[in-house]
Homo-oligomer: A and B are copies of this chain.
Amino acid sequence: MAEYGELPLRGLVADILRSYEAEPDIIKLDDGVRIDPDAIRRLIDGLRNLVFAGFYEKRQPSAVEYYIGELLEKLSRLLQEQVARALRQAGRHAAGEVAEAARQKAMAFLARIPWLRSVVATDVEAALDGDPAAASKDEIILSYPGLYAVTVSRLAHELYLLEVPLIPRMMTEHAHGITGIDIHPGASLGHHFFIDHGTGVVIGETTEIGDFVKIYQGVTLGALSTRGGRLLAGVKRHPTIRDHVTIYSGASIFGGSTVIGEGVVIGSNAFITKSVPEKTRVSVRNPELQFKSDDKLKSVELEQDEFWSYEI
């Protein structure tokens, strides 16, 4: 082995190699080519350039048809390559079938883009309508984390439905890292979906969200379960949110059979584990606040009644 300066690295190399044999599950040194995390980032960026053509590139493309043609070709190659690796890494399909399966899934996915764009356009509308601080659609497309996360989730969801392993989750976790918004690619999202601010939002794998839904930062749509662990994989564990629902900051809604009815407004910090009938406003009877000044304790209870709606 080569010398490593004056440091006793030789022994350490041997220790590390022994450690690799001791913990084979957390290394990936087999001969098969495995999925490339950086490629997933390039995939997301390329897809966003396809959806929001011209917004994120350094230079605006001049010949649109050639630009789209080139971009689609790059994306389809990248997709086929990474989807094939994902299929191999997850042990799906016989070796001779992987390439064709990858090609079919990649093409089926790309064919969804026109429809997906029409839905993303409704998300931008919803953001403009739902946020007094939104100055323009350009501002939303250039900077809103909610739009970024939801767009990536919609794309990942299509790959999830096509039963592509690994890639959907890598995409949504990449968006999670950038936005603080954690949407599992299994979640189905209706149109005109707006997440405002978004940091801390968690939307679980089997969540169903309807149309014209608006949620704020810190909202959890989670699962109630007995301790079944991985036996629960595949079972609906997360709530169903109907159309025109608004869920304010910090609220938690749990349970696979929990249905939030149409037009419901869930107040900030509410904790919901049962279904809520339509056109109902739910708020928390605020914990009593205690005021203390000059060493005298004073209890004050806030009337919650009139504060039915708030936006940030």
Contacts and interface: CB of A to CB of B under 8 A. Distances in A.
A90 B136 contact: yes
Interface residues of A, number: 155
B37 A56 contact: yes
Given A76-B9, A89-B138, A285-B299, A18 B114 contact: yes
Interface in A4-58: 4-5, 7-9, 12-13, 15-20, 22-23, 25-31, 33-38, 50-56, 58
- How many identical chains are in the complex? 3
A297 B305 contact: yes
B68 A54 contact: no
A121 interface: yes
A19 B113 contact: yes
B25 A121 contact: yes
B53 A29 contact: yes
Contacts of A124: 25-26
A311 B222 contact: yes
Contacts of A279: 293-294
A189 B22 CA distance: 21
Contacts of A200: 180, 199-200, 217-218
A276 interface: yes
Q: Which of A143, A217, A294 has the most CB of B within 10 A?
A: A143
A95 B154 CA distance: 39
A72 B199 contact: no
B72 A53 contact: no
Given A139-B166, A283-B289, A177 B178 contact: yes
13 contacts: A1-B65, A13-B68, A26-B52, A30-B60, A130-B229, A132-B205, A132-B229, A139-B169, A139-B170, A180-B199, A222-B311, A277-B293, A280-B291
